Amino acid sequence: MTNPDIQKVELEKAYRLLNHGPTVLVSAQDDDDIDVMAAAWACALEFSPAKVTVVLDKSTKTRKIIEKNGYFALQVPCLAQLDMTYQLGSISQFDELNKLELCGTQLFYPDDSGVPLVEGCIAWLICKVIPEPHNQQAHDLFIGSVMGAWADSRVFRDGHWYFSDAHRSLKSLHYIAGGTFYTIGDEVKANL
């Protein structure tokens, strides 16, 4: 990893990267075919072995690549990537061949899995599809087994988010509709 802020996250704690419900970017590659889309419907499914769900509409190029290749990444974009996140969720590569260039999306490869990750995000999970044809066809629901996880140590380290200490531009995004998002807010602690 060339960026020293990016640190490995142990797989047993990977669910914490998604537990607060951020909007994610979904990336995938099959040979020269690469796409990235935004998705609000991604969720942890299992602690250990770490698994996730993500809903991928049949109209998306990203889904087509994942169906061929069997791997995808979920990554957590931050406020600095607000416009890019919305654009990646609004523009289809079927309409705009140079979608990723238009959106200013830069990629990197953290391991030899060949799954591209989006630079500037605050957390990344590389996942292998657990084939579930019924879920994929009937519900557009994909289940992935988490193979590797990383986070930007400026906001996530030792298994915990530190949004309150970090710069506002590193806050996660939570999509509503029509280009409106919320950032994550303040940390609060509950008592039993």
- Which member of 27, 29, 85, 105 binds a second copy (CB under 8 A)? 85
- 159 lies in the binding site for a second copy (CB under 8 A): yes
CB under 8 Å to 68, separation ≥6 — which residues?
A: 30, 33
- 105 lies in the binding site for a second copy (CB under 8 A): no
Question: Which stretch, 4-12, 26-34, 59-67, 168-176, contacts a second copy (CB under 8 A)?
Answer: 168-176
Q: Binding to a second copy (CB under 8 A): which residues in 113-132?
A: none
What does the alpha-carbon distance between residue 38 and residue 36 come to, in Å, rounded to a whole number? Answer: 7
What does the alpha-carbon distance between residue 25 and residue 38 come to, in Å, rounded to a whole number? Answer: 4
AA letter at 78: C
Tokens of 2: 């060339």
- 185 lies in the binding site for a second copy (CB under 8 A): yes
- 16 lies in the binding site for a second copy (CB under 8 A): yes
- 139 lies in the binding site for a second copy (CB under 8 A): yes
Contact call for residues 75 and 124 (beta carbons, < 8 A): yes
What does the alpha-carbon distance between residue 30 and residue 57 come to, in Å, rounded to a whole number? Answer: 18
Q: Binding to a second copy (CB under 8 A): which residues in 20-39?
A: 20-23
- 158 lies in the binding site for a second copy (CB under 8 A): no
